[in-house]
Amino acid sequence: MTGVSRSICRLGLVLFCLPMSVVAVNLNDYQWHNRLLLLLAPDASAPAVAQARDNLERRFEEVVDRDLLVIQLFLNGQSLVGDRPISVSEAAQLRLELGIDPDEQVLVLIGKDSGVKRRAPLLTDLQEIFTQIDAMPMRRNEIRERNQTDGSVFTP
């Protein structure tokens, strides 16, 4: 291993060992900026959670295009806002605010206006979510504005 390779390995190990900063979460901070897609389950290692994550990863561009921020809230395992970890207490508080039972595996869609638009089983087909978002007046305006600026034609 060369000196540069060793240095890179050491840097990676140091970064891996550093504690990740935990963020505070207030869902209202995202109002008018993002739609929120919350994945809630008792355990982060549940098979349904893995499948939901895979589904989102496969359709990443569509998630980004709709200004969706994915928030994962668990009783056991690391909860996340996007790719940033949040504390167990923050996750518990958000679950409480949303009225989620401890054993529920649910998906919650929150619009840019901060209103809950859908509460459904965790493995709801993402196309249903995208179709619902695309029918929202704010989303239709976003598409219209985008079409005017880049000349493309997209109608959901």
Of the two residues 153 and 102, the one the predictor is more confident about is 102
Residue 155: per-residue pLDDT = 54
CATH value at residue 125: 3.40.30.10
Residue 20: per-residue pLDDT = 46
Q: Is residue 37 part of a domain?
A: yes
Give 59-116 as a DSSP string.
THHHHHHTTEEEEEEEEES-EEETTEEE-HHHHHHHHHHHT--TT--EEEEE-TTS-E
Q: How confident is the model at residue 151 (pLDDT cuts 50, 70, 90)?
A: low
Is residue 3 pLDDT above 90, yes or no?
no
Q: Is residue 63 part of a domain?
A: yes
Q: Is residue 125 part of a domain?
A: yes
Q: Is residue 115 part of a domain?
A: yes
Is residue 17 pLDDT above 90, yes or no?
no
Number of domains comprising the chain = 1
Q: Is residue 8 part of a domain?
A: no
In this prediction, residues 142-156 reach a mean pLDDT of 74
Q: Is residue 45 part of a domain?
A: yes
pTM of the model: 0.79
Residue 26: per-residue pLDDT = 85
Q: Is residue 87 part of a domain?
A: yes
Range of the domain at 78: 32-150
Q: Is residue 21 part of a domain?
A: no
